[in-house]
Amino acid sequence: MLFMKGNKDFPQCGFSNTVVQVLTACKADFEAINVLENELLRQGIKDYSQWPTIPQLYVDGEFMGGCDIVVDMFQSGELQEMVERVNAEA
């Protein structure tokens, strides 16, 4: 699950766009929630994760991080391995 600004087809910030592109490159099957549609959700997800920025990526309910962390995970190959594992379990 990706909490982002905008949606997969029309990200409304560069960081959200980057994460969508990374997940697409990994062939990840993911859902996205537009936090701009609900201020309570936007603040609530920040409080829940104790992470101050959007986008936020969760895999199997576990908070992975924001844009920089997702890009680092992609560059190291860790994200691709995680996506393959989750896809195999589905």
pTM of the model: 0.94
Q: Is the dihedral of CA 38, 82, 11, 68 positive or negative?
A: positive
Tens of pLDDT, residues 29-87 = 999 999 999 999 999 999 999 999 999 999 988 999 999 999 999 999 999 999 999 88
| Cα torsion through 35, 7, 66, 46, rounded to 10 | 10
* CATH superfamily of domain region 2-89: Glutaredoxin (3.40.30.10)
Nearest to 79 by CA among 33, 18, 28, 15: 28
Q: Where are the domains of the chain?
A: 2-89
Tens of pLDDT, residues 8-35 = 999 999 999 999 999 999 999 999 999 9
DSSP string, 29-71: ---EEEGGG-HHHHHHHHHHHT--SS-EEEETTEEEESHHHHH
